[in-house]
Amino acid sequence: MLAPDAGCGRDVVEDGVTACVFLASMRPRSLLRFISISDLQRQQRMPCCSHLTWNTNEFKEWAHQGQGALPMQSALPRTYLILVGYLTDGRQEDKEKLVDGCLYVKDNTGIIPCELLYFQLEWLDSLFLFPSWSYIPQTDQSATGYVEILVDPVPVNLPKEVPDSIPVTYPVSAELLLTSRIPCKKRSKLTVAGELARLGPLLCIRHKTFFFLFLKCFTSAVWVPVLVQKPNQLAWHHILQLGRSYTITGLSMSSLKKSGHRMFVTGVSSCLLPYCAEQVREQPLDSALQGESTESSSLETAEQLSDSLELGVEEERPRSTKESKIISYVGTVTKILNVQAGLFLLDNKVCLCLAYQQLLNSARGLRPGACVELIDVHLLQKPLVSFPFIVLGACLSSTVVLKSFSRLSTPYQPPASSGNLYLQLLFRYNLGMPLYLWLVSLLEMFEERFSCFFGRHRPLLRSTHQNAGAAEKFLVPLLQAVVPDREEARDIYNEILAKVHQCPLQKYMTLNPPCQAPSLSAVCHVAEQKSWEGFSPSQLLSPLEAQHMGTQELNRRLTWSYYTVSPGSFQPRLILLGVLRVSSRSSSLQLQDKSSTLPCVIARKDGSPFTHTALLGSLLQVENYQLIVERFLQTDFPSWEHLENLEHVREKKNSVYVQFYFEDVQVLHAAEGQIQKCLRSGNSSSLRKKDDGSLTSELEAPEAKMLKLEDPKPDTHRDENCQGGQSSTRRTSCVSRLFLVTQKEGLMLRNYQLPGEKVGEGRELQRSFQATVLWLGRPQLWSHPRETGNLPELEESGCDGEESVTRQEALLLFMRKSLRWFPFLHLDGLYRFIVPCCSDLEVFDKLCFPPVPAKFLSRSSCPLCLPVQDTWHLQHETWISCLTERQLAAVSVQAGMDQRISSIPEVLSSSFTGSLVSFSGEIMERTLCASPKNEKPSVTVSLQKQKGSLLASGHSVKLSVSVAPGSPVMVDIYIAATYLQHLWGLLPGAKILFQNLERKISRFHNVYCTYIASSCVSIISLPASHLPFPSNPAGEASSPSLVFLSSLQPHLQNLPQARILCHLSCVLTLSLQWVCSLCSSIFKEGRCTRHSPPCPSHTGVRQASAWVLVEDGTGEALVLCRNQHVAAMLGLSLLEWEALQNSVQSRGRVSIEHGEATGTGCVEEPEDLIACYLRSLCRSPLICRPILLDFSLNRKPSKILQPAPLQLRNFRCGEVEFVSQVGPRLNLLCLNVDEVEQDALSYLNSERIRRTSGHCQVEATA
């Protein structure tokens, strides 16, 4: 175990060794054994300690005292191992190894680092018996640990002798030499003696290790600096103790060119000796100046170090700053906060930061339970708002002394020796303590959230000069934004040597983090909180509309709403981070971290669908996004008057998702392709046909020679297989096939019967989708998946006769894991299936089967079904619109069918004949309504309902979709609530591509569409960032255009809203009533009038309606007015209208109806004063006045008889009577009524006259 010359030629020190051997001999021989360094490192996996001279009680007392600060930790277990070895600084082991100042124990089997609380220079390279020590392995068991020497080792050989008398110079005289102007080269080497006032940390810059020490005069405060940088002298750092006196020989003087600082520098022959007054004599100053001296060779090196270390000092910002206090502190390490960042918790209340010093001993000894003494450290209170501890920061002038080792069984986790991103960014951007703590929090968050997705967390934090790691890509832009440009560099020599202390920790200010990146679960939680903060149901409804709603309609309108949260809504700004995945349940895209998942909608700014399958598994960063909180309420409000009483809110639910553009995404870490993952596996299973036509799974090993693109003709002599065998060529080959998507259907539960599967009634439906595609060209064989590209199929298509284009259409069935391709597969896209580890060109044909037996349907009339396998990879190549003319011609030869994208005007046209339609448009309004009574839910809908939906099955959503904002063409789309469970992004302002909707015509001849089981939607563009308030999802529309009634006839069906300046001719009918909020029966004298069965409601709702006749000189129209618009038509103020409706409450209902001529058709009771008042009001000349009317088409016209078309009508203006031909009356719905002031009336009349005269001139010319 020991070196061959161990102890040879040396006398044994009888006292120490004999005592240890005697005490150890008292143990049972079966327990004691010698252990070599190599055996200790290889066999011992857990922390342990060995105390040869202690009995059991002494060990228990020692262990009990160590558990005082951390009672939950267990003490070090005891072993009976004898360790003997040499103490060395590692210089003799490896000539090329950098000497870092660490100490080691070695024997002829190995070497291991060690830590000592006390060390003497004469111990170096001496043989010792270690009576008391601890072995601390690393948390990573593949690396070795270190040894803590608990008590002084017992030397086996005698120490070296010390010379008797040494001439020395004391710091007072030495300081005069440093400040004198005599050139350095005229000075001789000196021996300086003094008290150690300060000990700098070990520093390593450009593979040069050094440290500074400061010797103080015994009788004054004068001190001189000494630079120690020789490899054989770095072990002095373990010997030196503050307050002790030392003598250093062979010192020369040197200075730094830039700063002008002067210091003493050790030479090769320098020695460190303990100061003893009897062994030294003071050397006169004159003798120190005599003789020639050689200039220290380390001077140039020191200058290089000063030039190379460009560590900047943090500038003061124009805000108020704090001054840190310099204190000394003794505490116990209770927790390692982050060893990579140099953060340790002392006494459970103070954070020690050693990042501004280099931990060249790899933080050995700083385990929980160890006691440390801190001298001249900076005290920073609340440097970061979110940081809970006071911080003690050690700069280059601070001293950290390990006072005692931990007695607890805590493992050792060393900081990274290279590539430490914490320290790299700290020094690169010259961060102060507040910014550094913020940096640490972001990196810790990064590791915590995403290390589980990428195996070991090192790839996320790893950074090289060529390739930045994911964490560096995330942090560098943030640091560049918050850290201003630096003009001053951090001068470490000035920081260490200056009389007035300056360092990055001297001044600081409390930092409010400029941004945050919380976990996805926290993001969802905060978004939910914001959506419900200050929420009131009355916010979702207009008071003028709500007061006329019944209970059912009122609560239905409150059921579903949404709330938008932008990045600016968070303080500080919130950045989204997540791994892109596809939900296995909903097949929707989602961001994922360790805490949760967040569904996402990704669009492209150019309007093309998102198709980047390579991003699956990649780590994404998004700063510009919209968080959408869909809110779902179950309420039982009796009427609008109770909306402020939240007791009627029975249940609140919500779902959160995010939507953003692909162009706003930054890829921090690109995942390895799915193909490469399959290639590494070396084999996988594939389906092949048996003789009976069924499918079975087997491993296959093709024999083929492949270079790049292989001969696409299949080899009939080799086995029918598509999996890699033993050769590397087979493991990397793949087969691909190009196809064009001509039709895609939505997700639904389908009952597919694959060949070979048994038919059973208990078979469950499985979620799936299908797409109709056209194969382009023949399958291609590639030597490596990365070489696929350039669309060679389109270059050869159509060149091999008719056989190459027959049976080119296929129906792809996506089930199980292949559902992940649903968000990426889009109409008119060219895609490629890649089958990894395969060389069988017939793999696609072997898996195809007819959708129905051939005896029922000809094979040529229906495409074959191809179940997409879980291991296949989908790759988007291009769009059909991006092909060249030659490629497009090749595609058109094989194009058998395509799904036609119609326009909204075409869908609304009466000449349109299709039943399934596809079109795109922008959602103008989203309204929740009751499902049509004549539509029964399908089996698929019922099964979806069982799995849970946030909306009741009796609800449907109506989407009003227009070609563009302000367009007069609009179509309504109805989607059942059960289909909305996984349809994200259906918001006002979003542009959507709807596919396979069912076109229907209502009984009023209105065209609308419904979402069916095979329908599908794709998000083309997202709503603008300034979304309107959810209660008005359509937003504030621009003022409707001013039109004439005669000009509305050609496009009346498609008119959403317009405005006319008209004259109110008369009021035809008027009805004021109070109805029950539950059953809509008449509500009279505070109760419902329904008796069979009795209605329990005690709440009534007032409603009003009127039909009025208006004309604008070019035509007439019947206008239906409701509720508050009736008051505007009658010209009543709010108080008058309120009093009138209250008067109707005791009667329940008041109605009048009369013809257009005076005194015809009255149906009211003569003695009813309210009815008489209303009749006289309707016949009053004051009612007949000019008004500005906003209207829309009344899609449900009244039963009132209309005049025959093209009548001759008499009009009188004063004494002049006119005869005019008038077209049929239009049925309009009043949206708003405005009184016309005199100035506005004059302007509008002049505008009408101008437009009318121009219209007449055109007709006369014609």
pLDDT in tens, 821-830: 999 999 888 9
* Structural element, H or E, at residue 527: helix 520-532
Smallest CA-to-CA distance from 411 within 69, 143, 150, 202 is with 143
Q: Which residues pair with 1109 in a beta bridge?
A: 1066, 1118
Query: What integer pLDDT is reported at residue 1203 of this predicted model?
Result: 47
Query: What integer pLDDT is reported at residue 208 of this predicted model?
Result: 84
Share of the chain above pLDDT 70, in %: 75
How confident is residue 909, by pLDDT bands cut at 50, 70 and 90? confident
Q: What is the DSSP letter of 384?
A: B
Residues ≥6 apart with Cβ < 8 Å to 572: 512, 513, 514, 515, 516
The pair of three-digit structure tokens given for residue 189, joined into one six-digit string: 């080497």
Smallest CA-to-CA distance from 833 within 601, 696, 674 is with 674
Query: What integer pLDDT is reported at residue 424 of this predicted model?
Result: 87
Asked if residue 411 lies in contact with residue 137, where contact means CB atoms within 8 angstroms, the answer is yes
Asked if residue 579 lies in contact with residue 433, where contact means CB atoms within 8 angstroms, the answer is no
Position with higher pLDDT, 1161 vs 399:
399
Query: What integer pLDDT is reported at residue 789 of this predicted model?
Result: 54
Smallest CA-to-CA distance from 476 within 515, 416, 425 is with 425
Whether pLDDT at 700 is above 90: no
The pair of three-digit structure tokens given for residue 334, joined into one six-digit string: 């209770």
pLDDT tens per residue across span 984-1001: 889 999 999 998 899 998
Backbone φ, ψ for residue 728 (5° rounding)? -65, -30
Whether pLDDT at 303 is above 60: no
* Structural element, H or E, at residue 474: helix 470-482
The pTM for the full model equals 0.80
Q: Which residues pair with 736 in a beta bridge?
A: 780, 834
Query: What integer pLDDT is reported at residue 159 of this predicted model?
Result: 58
Please compute the mean of the pLDDT values over residues 155-163 and round it to a whole number.
65
Contacts 24+ apart (CB under 8 A), 1154-1159: 1154/1068, 1154/1178, 1155/1068, 1156/1065, 1156/1066, 1156/1068, 1156/1109
Residues ≥6 apart with Cβ < 8 Å to 691: none
Whether pLDDT at 706 is above 70: no
Q: State CA 310 to chain mean position distance.
A: 35
Whether pLDDT at 177 is above 60: yes
Query: What integer pLDDT is reported at residue 410 of this predicted model?
Result: 85
Q: Which residues pair with 771 in a beta bridge?
A: 812
* Structural element, H or E, at residue 730: helix 728-732
HEC string of 81-94 equals EEEEEEEECCCCCC
**What's the rounded Cα separation, in Å, for the pair 621 and 829?**
27
Please compute the mean of the pLDDT values over residues 113-140 and round it to a whole number.
89
Whether pLDDT at 234 is above 60: yes
b/e code 1073-1086 from CB counts within 10 Å (16+ = b): bbbbbbbbbbbbee
| Positive or negative: CA dihedral 1089, 1095, 1096, 1099 | negative
Smallest CA-to-CA distance from 263 within 168, 207, 179 is with 179
Query: What integer pLDDT is reported at residue 804 of this predicted model?
Result: 43
Query: What integer pLDDT is reported at residue 314 of this predicted model?
Result: 37
Query: What integer pLDDT is reported at residue 1184 of this predicted model?
Result: 86
Residues ≥6 apart with Cβ < 8 Å to 1176: none
Whether pLDDT at 154 is above 70: yes
Asked if residue 733 lies in contact with residue 782, where contact means CB atoms within 8 angstroms, the answer is yes
CA distances from 728 to 680, 683, 709, 834, 1218 (A): 10, 11, 16, 18, 97
**What's the rounded Cα separation, in Å, for the pair 820 and 815?**
9
The pair of three-digit structure tokens given for residue 499, joined into one six-digit string: 């009389």
Radius of gyration of the chain from its Cα atoms, rounded to whole angstroms: 44
User: Which residue shows structure tokens 């005692």?
Assistant: 404
Give the Cα-Cα-Cα angle 713, 718, 721 (nearest 5 degrees).
Answer: 90
Q: What is the DSSP letter of 239?
A: H
Query: What integer pLDDT is reported at residue 321 of this predicted model?
Result: 82
**What's the rounded Cα separation, in Å, for the pair 485 and 967?**
51
| DSSP calls for 959-974 | EEEESSTT-S-EEEEE
Asked if residue 1149 lies in contact with residue 1072, where contact means CB atoms within 8 angstroms, the answer is yes
Please compute the mean of the pLDDT values over residues 1174-1188 and round it to a whole number.
85
Backbone φ, ψ for residue 105 (5° rounding)? -110, 130
Whether pLDDT at 627 is above 90: yes
Query: What integer pLDDT is reported at residue 338 of this predicted model?
Result: 92
Whether pLDDT at 729 is above 60: no
Q: How many residues does the chain have?
A: 1262
**Helical H segments across 1109-1237, by residue range:** 1124-1130, 1134-1145, 1169-1178
Q: Which residues pair with 651 in a beta bridge?
A: 634
Contacts 24+ apart (CB under 8 A), 1200-1208: 1200/1068, 1200/1069, 1200/1107, 1200/1118, 1202/1118
How confident is residue 790, by pLDDT bands cut at 50, 70 and 90? low
Query: What integer pLDDT is reported at residue 1250 of this predicted model?
Result: 65
How confident is residue 112, by pLDDT bands cut at 50, 70 and 90? very high
* Structural element, H or E, at residue 476: helix 470-482
User: Which residue shows structure tokens 């093309």?
Assistant: 608
b/e code 574-588 from CB counts within 10 Å (16+ = b): bbbbbbbbbbeebbb
- Determine the straight-line distance between the first and last CA of the chain, rounded to whole angstroms: 119
Query: What integer pLDDT is reported at residue 586 of this predicted model?
Result: 80
pLDDT tens per residue across span 850-867: 766 555 555 455 678 889
Report the relative pairing of strands 371-380 and 390-393 from DSSP bridges: antiparallel
Smallest CA-to-CA distance from 35 within 48, 23, 17, 53 is with 48
CA distances from 658 to 215, 590, 624 (A): 64, 9, 10
Query: What integer pLDDT is reported at residue 663 of this predicted model?
Result: 93
Please compute the mean of the pLDDT values over residues 97-119 and round it to a whole number.
88
